[in-house]
Amino acid sequence: MDVAITEIKRCHLDVLHEWERDEKLQVQTGVDVPRTYEQFLHAYKAYLNGEKPNLYLRAVLLDGQLIGKVELFRTTEKDFIGMVIAEKRNSGVGTRALFLFLDEIYERFGIKHVFAEVYEDNTRSLHFFKKNGFQTTGEKKREWFRGKPRELITMKKDLQ
């Protein structure tokens, strides 16, 4: 199994949009209302054109096939990562991609700590981040998802 991360390319966009429209992934990632294809393309074109400097995206490839994405969103206070592995879950691919990404953002940006926000009811993602060295900070945030409240748990990992 050859796991790699690479830049998001235009040829990835159709698959990425399919994932955004996947009901199970919507619940896990908090996509309340998926974007239309036109809205989705507009957002990614803005990123690809450099209009979203606080966002850094990478495609996750397994043996050359797109199976997920990982992202960094930078604020003045914290650097947040997000990850979607849409295929080949529970095979170690996510862990390998996560560590490739963490190494890359440490080298590229000098980031010393990253944060992840995970829904309290997303036990698979909570387990994933915990087993990969993230610790809960005690910080929780309530969001509304499809008319119901959901708690977001903040987790942190030191990269040094």
Tell me the pLDDT of the chain averaged across its residues.
89
For the chain, what is the domain count?
Answer: 1
Q: Is the pLDDT of residue 29 over 80?
A: no
Domain of 70: which CATH number?
3.40.630.30
Query: Which own/partner contact pairs does 143-150 have at CB distance under 8 Å and 24+ positions apart?
Result: 143/30, 145/27, 145/30, 145/32, 145/119, 146/32, 150/30, 150/119, 150/120, 150/121
Rounded Cα distance between 99 and 75, Å, is 21
Average pLDDT over residues 58-87: 91
Provide, rounded to the nearest whole percent, the portion of the chain with pLDDT above 90: 54
Contact in structure between 51 and 44 (CB atoms under 8 Å): no
Match 């610790």 to its residue by tokens: 135
> Which domain range does residue 36 map to?
3-158
